[in-house]
Amino acid sequence: MNGILGFDLKRYIYILRHFKVKDFTCKKLNSREFEEWEKSYDDGELECLHVEIPKPDKVYVSEQKRALKTAQYLKLKYEKTSLLKEVEACAFMKTNLKFSKNFWLLTDRLLWFLNLKKGENRKDTAKRAIEFLDKIDETKSVLIISHGLFISVLIKELEKRGFRGKKDLHAKNGKLYHFWYV
């Protein structure tokens, strides 16, 4: 759709979840082991993919290693920012009892959703997404490389601002999502 004098007045935001981390942790973990796993996850090797990337005016990338490695693999010039980091996962209790990694993660995300989590809760994450979107408000086209949970919050904030686009219930690693605003 062309605007005044034939100029395209649309704004585009492309969102890419970092490439998948090769994680082979299957054993059950106590709270200390889970927190050690969470810290080491960011250092893991990635399953890199070929992704067709548009040429945006600006590229913003989470400062976490897996997002930075994704941007570097794609040979992008970018600005890194802590506003795009993932919500940190942590054990909800200190215990020697062992649970699956997925149990620890699911419980952490449930507490986050209910705003009962120590550290950053859902309201805090939404504020961070709003702060980031306010920062890029005037940029015509932007590529963002971030993380699953944060992307879901960011997309909700984009929709509140009138952006449209196709999304998945959970952002998939290495998949490019396209949102636009007229």
User: Which pLDDT belongs to residue 118?
Assistant: 86
Query: pLDDT per residue over 128-175, tens digit each?
Result: 999 999 999 888 999 999 999 999 999 999 999 999 999 999 999 999
Q: Place 4 in a pLDDT band, splitting at 50, 70 and 90.
A: very low
User: Cβ–Cβ contacts within 10 Å for residue 98, how many?
Assistant: 14
Q: Per-domain residue ranges for the chain?
A: 12-181
> Whole-model pTM?
0.91
CATH 3.40.50.1240 fits 12-181, yes or no: yes
Give the residue among 104, 109, 110, 102 at the shortest CA–CA distance from 87: 109
Query: pLDDT per residue over 63-111, tens digit each?
Result: 999 999 999 999 999 999 999 999 999 999 999 999 999 999 999 999 9
